């Protein structure tokens, strides 16, 4: 993406949140990463999100994140839109990565600063500083997991900043979704941050979703999204219901741990997680194996096991 106008136009649809595969020695497995990227591009995904929370960016060094951005953009070659997470507890790193992401033709995804007792005025000033750093604009990630939830009223102020092209909404409270969809739809791109519960936001008028579990269930989640996109809510509902038991395990054992384990059951190389995360337990793996076998037995899922 060469500029903010092209970025805004292409920022819609279903984006795979690509896990970062680490080898047992703890280094990034770039060949495995490229395989996983090629898989979802070939299936018809609209974009990728790289180095996000479930891409385990908090346990990567700045040098690793630079290398990750460059490797992914070289692999993708502008075939799909790419969000590059530039969030950091250190604003100096966030600034550098935000500029790099835009220079590479990606869209930097920026969170509020990870500090306690920050005011809404300071959060607004932070995004006003970040937006001009990228030639492609920025995506505001409302990420309650960092301890700060941006209110719909604050998101409206952020949406007015030149250079903010979209919001990835992690607070899926129905009241917040209703306000955001009705006040901001059409002004900028609205993304649902979770594939665990995306039917509601999409029906409310959001422009797309980002999905981690599509690393393990790419065919099923894509089919669900496309059905909803085409106005077939009944089919989308039925397909989404197919992987309810998987979602329960994901909520219980965490992402990206479960995703990487499920990828391995399919013969996909998601690698391992980095400390402080740990691979799922043997008990959890047994439960996951049963769920994946059930999914594979239903032709609608598109799931096959290794």
d(C-alpha 24, C-alpha 172), whole Å: 35
The active-site residue, picked from 141, 225, 246, 260, is 141
The active-site residue, picked from 168, 225, 246, 260, is 168
Catalytic residue list contains 299: no
Residues 6+ apart with CB under 8 A from 46: 10, 12, 13, 14, 15, 80, 81, 208
Q: Which of 270, 265, 143 is nearest to 212 (CA)?
A: 270
Structure-token pair, residue 208: 């797309």
DSSP state of 44: T
Structure-token pair, residue 245: 């038991």
Catalytic residue list contains 225: no
Interhelix angle 120-130/91-103, rounded to 10 degrees, is 40
DSSP state of 47: E
Residues 6+ apart with CB under 8 A from 137: 4, 7, 8, 102, 107, 131, 163, 164, 165, 166
Structure-token pair, residue 15: 């984006």
Where in the sequence numbering do the catalytic residues fall?
141, 168
């Amino acid at each position: 993406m060469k500029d903010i106008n092209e970025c805004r136009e292409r920022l819609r649809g279903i984006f795979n949140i690509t896990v970062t595969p680490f080898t047992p020695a703890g280094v990034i497995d770039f060949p495995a990463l490229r395989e996983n990227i090629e898989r979802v591009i070939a299936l018809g995904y609209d974009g990728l999100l790289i180095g996000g929370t479930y891409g385990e960016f908090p346990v990567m060094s700045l040098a690793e994140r630079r290398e990750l951005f460059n490797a992914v953009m070289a692999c993708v070659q502008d075939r799909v839109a790419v969000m590059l997470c530039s969030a950091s507890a250190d604003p100096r790193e966030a600034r550098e990565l935000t500029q790099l992401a835009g220079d590479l033709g990606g869209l930097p995804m920026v969170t509020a600063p990870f500090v306690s007792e920050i005011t809404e005025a300071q959060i607004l000033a932070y995004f006003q500083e970040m937006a001009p750093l990228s030639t492609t604009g920025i995506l505001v990630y409302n990420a309650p997991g960092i301890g700060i939830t941006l209110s719909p009223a604050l998101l409206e102020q952020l949406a007015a900043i030149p250079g903010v092209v979209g919001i990835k909404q992690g607070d899926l409270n129905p009241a917040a979704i209703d306000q955001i969809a009705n006040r901001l739809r059409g002004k900028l791109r609205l993304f649902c941050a979770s594939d665990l519960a995306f039917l509601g936001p999409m029906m409310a008028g959001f422009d797309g979703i980002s999905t981690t579990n599509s690393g393990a269930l790419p065919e099923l989640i894509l089919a669900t999204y496309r059905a909803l996109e085409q106005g077939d809510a009944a089919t989308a509902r039925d397909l989404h219901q197919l992987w309810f038991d998987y979602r329960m395990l994901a909520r219980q054992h965490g992402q990206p741990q479960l995703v990487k384990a499920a990828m391995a059951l399919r013969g996909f190389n998601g690698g391992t997680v980095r400390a402080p995360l740990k691979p799922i337990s043997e008990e959890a793996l047994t439960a996951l194996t049963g769920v994946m076998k059930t999914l594979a037995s239903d032709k609608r899922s598109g799931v096959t096991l290794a």
